[in-house]
Every structure is written in C-alpha cells, then in structure tokens.
Amino acid sequence: MSNYTVYTPNPDGYTPSVGVFHLLEQIHDGANRGTGICALFALAEQIIGPNIPQDFINYAIGLQNNLFGGYPTTKDVAPSGLFAGIFALVTLVHLLIFIINFTKGHYFYLTLVFVFASLTRFVSFMLRLFWAQAIQKVKIGLTDEVLLVIPSIILVSFNLILAQRLFTWRHPVGGSRKLFWGCMFGLYALVIIIIAVTATASLVPYIAFLSTNSYLAWQRCVMASSVLVNIYTLTAIALIGLSFWLPTTKDENLYTYQPWWIESFSPFYFVEAGAAQRAEETFMKRNHNHRHAVRVIAATHHHYKMVKGLSNQRGDLSHNTSLLIISISTLLLFVSNFLRSVAVFQGRINYFRGPVANPIPMYMAWGVFEFFVHLLFIVGRVDLRFYRPDILPLVVRSIITAEQSVVVSDAEDNSEGEEFEGDDEFDSYSEEDMDEGSLKHSRNVPPIYSYPVDEPGRSTVKRDDESEFFF
C-alpha cells in the first residue's frame, strides 16, 4: 500500500527525481513536466522495475494538474468504501422499483437511467478506493476521474426531461410542437458532445507528453466544457420558470391523455397490474380527438380538456412537490458542478492545490449531494409523478371512427315515404283531413318531416368535444 505525500524537498533545488524529469523533458522536445505521467510510470517500470521509488512518485503526482477532490491517499479508502456501499444500495432500490413497475405493466424507463447513474457512481468510488492503495496505477485513476464526472451530467440531463414533461403538462400545445422537441433533442445532443469533449480534454494531458502551449490549450478546453455544464444544469430551472406562464386558449381547447389509473404518489404505492393496458383498450371505442390526444403526466389539477378514464377515484395529485424535487435536485447538482469548475479554473499544479482540491468538498458534492438527489427521486416517486402514458399501438391510432350526421339522407327519405304509403290508417283520411290545418290538430297522423331539398345528405361539422361516445 502506497501512502504518498505531495511533497517536494526543495522545489527550486535539484534532486534525483528532478534530474530524471529534466532528462525526459529533453527527450520529448521540451514537454511540460506535468504531462505524460501514464507513459512516465510505464517507462519507469521498464527501467527500474515495479518498485518505483516513492520520492519519484510523490514528485510526479505533485506536478500534475489540480483535481476536484485531489489525488487519493490511504485516508480515502474508508470514505470511498462507505459511499460505494451507499450507492450500491441506491442502485438496488432503483432496480427493485423498476422490476415491480415492469411486472405491473407500468413502464417508466427513466428508472434504468437512474440505475446506471448510481451504478456508475458506485464503480467510481470503488476505483478511487483501489487507486488510493496504488497511486502509480494511473490507468485506474484516469478511468475513475471520468466516471466521477459522468453521473452528475447524466442526472442533469434527465432532470431536464422531467422538467420537459412538467412543461408539457402545463402547456400541451407548445410542449407537443416539433420546434420545441427539436430544441430539446438539440440540448440532449449537446450534452453528449460535452461529455465526449470533457473526457478527451481531461485524459490527453495524462496520456501523452505535451508542450506547455498544448497543455494550456487542453486546460482551456476543460474550462469551457465546465462552463457549458453549469449553464446546461440551469436549463431545467429555466423550463420550470416557463411552466408558470398561464396556459393559453389553445392549451385549454386541446385534449390531453394522462394516466388516470395512477391514484397516488405515495412512496409505497404501485399501480394496479395491467391498468395501463386496459386503458389502451378503451381507445378502440373513442373518437379521433381522444386517440391523438397529447400524452401528459398525471394530475388532478389541469387547465384543459382531459380524456376521462373509466375510473377517476384519485386523491389530490398536485405537482408542487414535483417542482420542489426538480428545483432542489438541480440546485444540488449545480453546486457540485460549480465546485468542480472552481478547481478547473484555478489551473494549479497539485503541489499548490487549493481548498476545493481537498477530499471533503468532493465527498460532499459527489457523495452526499447525489445521494440526496437519488433519495428525492425514490421517496418522491418520480416514476409515478413524471410517468407519461405509453404511445397507443398503431392499430388503435389508425382507427377512423365514423362521425354520425343529424341530417337524413335521400335513401332514408325514400324509405320513410314508402312506409307511409303502405300505412292503412294513413290512407283512411280524406283529402280535407290532409290539409295543413287539420294535420296540425290530429293526434293520429304521423308527423311531417321537413328535409332540405336543395342540399340532400348534407353533413355537419362537429366540434372537437362532440362525439357519439361519452367519456
């Protein structure tokens, strides 16, 4: 076990380690001493063997770039193991919720993303535990640094998806437009690019020997990506702010389809098995407006026309708590990413590291804060609050319901005339009885139907909320 200390006996003096770095600097055309540590340790093992002198390791680590949370020592073994165990438990809880929901036909696939995020956090802390015991194992460290950054960005991205569903519930017209969806997909694509850039810019200085100018260029790249991550984190808050705009008239006139079978957001509540599938079957008898309604999250408070279900025995399903879940989780994730940005913008070597390069801020941000975010998702039951009904099967969506007209066609007019001609009671009346005045006061004469002659079979245009079915 290696317990290194970031210590240089005389930074301005000359030691054997300094001499070796001078030699490597000349061999690699003046490469910056803080780059290429992966290749450096590999070369040292080839020359010296696996037992690299501790002073050489300490000097090399001291020249590396400043990291959020710093480089681990043996003191990091216990906290890393603790948080690894916590996130292993969180992963199992998320997985258990998904399995129970899946067996009941309630498909909320975002839960699998939360499983992946917590699992990645578990792996990152386990790698930090191993890296703390052998700091010269740089490849383990590089993998760990990438995995430490990724989960928070994943949670930010899917927090934005939750905010998007909340926005669509408040504004179904705007939330269902192709322009809005195009902007959202653009943001999701942007975060993938940010993750790729961040990982590449963070790893290259450790893998290859770089000149000082190249080294600074890669550092600026990491700085730019950290700023973009901070801005991206706040997009969920911005979308929530837009949700507070009052719904427009178009929103109020649009039909929405929400999961009416969800009766509670309680931590221990699960939907009835097969409820979603039975709801889909009812759309076989519904009209076109219902089958193509905008799918939104469940709520008992809404500002628009809703496709009513077979049963609506629900409690108060408001979304004030949902707003708090998104707001608090976004704020915690923003603080975590902001602290990392501070370490990145310091641009120091590890020997002159700042306060944010100490382990405690990192364990608070990526340990405590993220655990609290997952706890909000689990106890707040985001799988119920932000569940949007599955898209109806194509065979249901393609049904064309016949619209019944109140105007009688020519064929019906002729058949009714034939029926009157064969009526004996009708034929027994005299011509005098058949005038308009006597017919008006007769109780036995069949009623006179008045049909438009010039527009036979004219169809009527029905409003969106009219249907031959009443739901």
Residue 45 lies in a domain: no
Find all residues with CB under 8 Å of 135, minimum gap 6, and list them: 2, 4, 57, 61, 71, 72, 73, 141
Residue 145 lies in a domain: yes
pLDDT > 90: what percent of the chain? 30
- Strand arrangement of the beta sheet that strand 255-257 belongs to: 294-295, 255-257, 305-306
- Overall pTM surpassing 0.85 (yes/no): no
CA distances from 305 to 283, 296, 317, 387 (A): 16, 12, 17, 19
79 is a domain residue: yes
334 assigned to some structural domain? yes
Give me the mean pLDDT over the 377-397 stretch: 81
Backbone angles phi, psi at 385, to 5 degrees: -65, -40
Per-residue confidence (pLDDT) for residue 305, from 0 to 100: 52
- Give the phi and the psi of residue 290 in degrees, each rounded to 5: -75, -40
Contact 80, 90 (CB under 8 A): no
Residue type, position 445, single letter: V
Lowest mean pLDDT across 2-11, 77-86, 298-307, 384-393: 2-11
Let me know if residue 225 belongs to a domain. Answer: yes
> What's the domain count of the chain?
1
What was the pLDDT predicted at 247?
Answer: 61
Residues 247, 304 contacting (CB under 8 angstroms): yes
Q: Which of 52-56, 209-213, 426-430 has the highest mean pLDDT?
A: 209-213
Domain presence at residue 256: no
Residue 244 neighbours by CB under 8 Å, 6+ apart: 170
Q: Rounded CA gap, 328 and 340, in Å?
A: 19
Q: By C-alpha distance, which of 197, 51, 18 is closest to 136? A: 51
> What is the chain's mean pLDDT, rounded?
77
Identify the pLDDT of residue 288. Answer: 55
Residue-level pLDDT at 374? 96
| Cα 375 to Cα 93, 116, 130, 163, distances in angstroms | 10, 15, 27, 18
User: Which of 101, 63, 168, 97 is closest to 379 using CA atoms?
Assistant: 97
State the CATH number of the domain containing residue 231.
1.20.1070
Q: Which residues form the domain of 378? A: 74-244+319-384
**CA dist., res. 319 & res. 374, Å (int):** 18
Q: Of 88-102, 111-125, 231-245, 301-315, give the lowest mean pLDDT range.
A: 301-315
Task: Please report whether residue 111 resides in a domain.
Answer: yes
- Helix (H) / strand (E) element for 190: namely helix 178-207
- Residue 442 confidence (pLDDT): 45
- The pLDDT score that the predictor gives to residue 47 is 77
Q: Please indicate, yes or no, if residue 50 is contained in any of the structural domains.
A: no
Number of helices (H), then strands (E), belonging to the chain: the values are 21, 3
Q: Which two tokens stand for residue 369?
A: 């804060």
Name the residue with higher pLDDT: 29 or 437: 29
pLDDT of residue 401: 55
**Are residues 293 and 256 in contact, defined by beta-carbon separation less than 8 angstroms?**
yes
**φ, ψ for residue 328, nearest 5 deg:** -65, -45
Eight-class DSSP state of 316:
-
Per-residue pLDDT at 448 exceeds 60: no
150-186 pLDDT, tens digit each: 999 999 999 999 988 888 887 877 777 888 888 889 9
pLDDT(255) > 90? no
pLDDT at residue 274 greater than cutoff 80: yes
Give the helix ranges, DSSP H, for 48-177.
Answer: 54-62, 77-103, 110-133, 138-170, 172-175
